[in-house]
Amino acid sequence: MVTTGKIELHRGLSGVYLDRTESCFIDGAEGKLLYRGYNIHDLAEKSTFEEVMHLLLYKKLPNRKELAAFDAQLKADRAVPAEVLDIVDKVKKAHPMDVLRTAVSALAAFDPETTDNSIEATIRKGLRLTSQAPTIVAAHDRIRKGLKPIPPSRTLNHAGNFLHMLFGRNPTPEEAHIMDVDFILHAEHGANASAFAARVTASTVSDLHSAIVTGIGTLKGPAHGGAAEEVMKMAEEISTPEKAAEWARKRLDGGGRVMGFGHRVYKAEDPRAQHLRDRSKVLGEQKGEPQWFQLLANLQEVMKPYQRRGIFVNVDFYAGSVYYLMGVPEDIFVSIFALGRIPGWTLNVVEQFERNMLIRPLMEYTGPMDVPYVPLAQRP
């Protein structure tokens, strides 16, 4: 915080509480994350993305009957109108996040409840978008490769269906499980930049599709969701585990950052990271490519002195290697984050609508005052 005269400046809104929430608790010093009171470790190890979506949006873990009905609705909502797939085809050369942002925006023209801002309709739209978004990401990847999109499955779970549409084959149970855990880990994270941006949009009483488009645009940046892609690019540039330490030292000495480290809130290890670290190691061994995990582990070793300054690995550090080892194209990594986060953005919009107040901060003006206007003809 900077105080100039009577003004308290909180650049980047760092340390500012925007509102109260019942959905996500983060203890940055401890490295603790709870969704509606449930520890992320329990959810990642014992739950499913479908259960977590229900928990976040309907405020409770579902019983069997509730889960069956919820799951049936999610499966029924997976298809995307042909017009939206045509738009995907027209913009297929763009980055997958640009395509997803464009397609979600286009879906607003086809959703029967786009302008209904009731809580019930907002939740229904959020779940519909959660179901439709994997269809868009997978269809785009196939269209740009000259392949026909695979229609969504009516039987596979959310994570398995995404991989099925992306790969054009049924995923192994292990692949589907890793994707499911990844979606759980990315589902919600308080007032992060993209959720905050979605809240700003909602606070003007705009609609859910607009708020999700805002969220996707904000998530794309390398300081937020784009880091997983950057981590894998960095790993490929380093190329072998032996070169990791020297590469990192050069980068840090030059004032650069090592991607996948640091977090605005966590000043301990991001509790989500360990679930992907374990999988990165096992997957690497299974696929005969253990070098990526070793390279990342070596980077983590070089970064140890930074822990004194609260800079630890974040969720994106091992995520990139996990996706890479599963055969997911690098430019889709951040889209996967978006697929997991749609329930979280929806939840933030719901909470914003429940007790709405326009989000409108101030700026301290530091420019000139009362400058005399010179007509165009008299300007030098």
**Residue 11 CB, nearest approach to ligand ACO (Å):** 9
Residue 264 in contact with ligand ACO, rule: CB under 6 A: yes
**Residue 314 CB, nearest approach to ligand ACO (Å):** 4
Residue 316 in contact with ligand ACO, rule: CB under 6 A: yes
Name which position in 215, 260, 284, 344 contacts ligand ACO (CB under 6 A). 260
| Nearest by Cα to 101 from 227, 241, 197 | 197
Q: Which of 140, 158, 186, 263 is catalytic?
A: 263
- Which C-beta is closer to ligand ACO: that of 222 or that of 329? 222
Query: Is 177 a catalytic site residue?
Result: no
Q: Which of 141, 182, 207, 316 is catalytic?
A: 316
Q: Which of 41, 95, 177, 224 is catalytic?
A: 224
- Which C-beta is closer to ligand ACO: that of 93 or that of 308? 308
**Residue 102 CB, nearest approach to ligand ACO (Å):** 22
Q: What is the CA radius of gyration of the chain?
A: 22
Q: List C-alpha distances in Å: 322 to 80, 137, 169, 182.
A: 28, 18, 19, 9
The torsion angles phi and psi of 242, rounded to 5 degrees, stand at -65, -25
**Residue 208 CB, nearest approach to ligand ACO (Å):** 22
Name which position in 53, 55, 227, 235 contacts ligand ACO (CB under 6 A). 227
Stretch that binds ligand ACO, among 135-143, 258-266, 327-335, 367-375 (CB under 6 A): 258-266
**Residue 282 CB, nearest approach to ligand ACO (Å):** 22
Stretch that binds ligand ACO, among 37-45, 209-217, 219-227, 328-336 (CB under 6 A): 219-227
**Residue 88 CB, nearest approach to ligand ACO (Å):** 26
- Residue 136 contacts residue 81 (beta carbons within 8 Å): no
- Residue 130 contacts residue 78 (beta carbons within 8 Å): no
Cα separation, 170 vs 379, whole angstroms: 69
Task: Tell me how many residues contact ligand ACO (CB under 6 A).
Answer: 16
- Residue 258 contacts residue 314 (beta carbons within 8 Å): no
Residue 311 in contact with ligand ACO, rule: CB under 6 A: yes
Question: Please, which of residues 5-64 interact with ligand ACO by CB under 6 A?
Answer: none
Q: Which residue is nearest to ligand ACO (CB)?
A: 262
Paired tokens of 46: 């014992």
- Which C-beta is closer to ligand ACO: that of 84 or that of 322? 322
**Residue 263 CB, nearest approach to ligand ACO (Å):** 5
**Residue 187 CB, nearest approach to ligand ACO (Å):** 12
Residue 323 in contact with ligand ACO, rule: CB under 6 A: no
Q: List C-alpha distances in Å: 98 to 81, 94, 125, 148, 339.
A: 18, 6, 21, 20, 14
Stretch that binds ligand ACO, among 87-95, 221-229, 340-348, 360-368 (CB under 6 A): 221-229
Query: Is 189 a catalytic site residue?
Result: no
Residue 259 in contact with ligand ACO, rule: CB under 6 A: yes
Stretch that binds ligand ACO, among 15-23, 42-50, 119-127, 307-315 (CB under 6 A): 307-315
Name which position in 165, 315, 339, 349 contacts ligand ACO (CB under 6 A). 315
Cα separation, 345 vs 130, whole angstroms: 10
Query: Is 10 a catalytic site residue?
Result: no
What is the binding site for ligand ACO (CB under 6 A)? 223-225, 227, 257-264, 311, 314-316
Instruction: Kindly list the catalytic residues.
Output: 224, 263, 316
